[in-house]
Amino acid sequence: MGLILLEALAAGFVFILIIWWTMFSGRSKGELHDDAEVEADRAADDRNPPPKP
């Protein structure tokens, strides 16, 4: 019974390690943005200016 518990704990540790690795081992400055997507967002902002008070 103790061996099964030890194996389950080891599997849980590996599972948590894999999740931690995928969450925090990305680019140091974050995701790179596509220039076309950024330009489209800027164009959408220009079409809908904020209302004047």
Mean pLDDT of 10-39: 79
Give the pLDDT of residue 8. Answer: 98
Mean pLDDT of the chain: 79
Whether residue 20 lies inside any domain: the answer is: yes
Indicate the pLDDT class of residue 51, thresholds 50, 70 and 90: confident
- pLDDT tens per residue across span 10-23: 999 999 999 998 88
pLDDT: is 18 or 43 the higher one?
18
Quote the CA–CA distance of 12 and 6 in Å, as a whole number.
Answer: 10
DSSP per-residue codes, 2-51:
HHHHHHHHHHHHHHHHHHHHHHHSS-TT-PPPPHHHHHHHHHHHHHSPPP
pTM summary value: 0.48
Domain that holds residue 20: 2-47
| Number of domains the chain is built from | 1
Does residue 52 fall inside a structural domain?
Answer: no
- As a whole number of Å, the end-to-end CA separation of the chain is 71
In a domain, 17, yes or no: yes
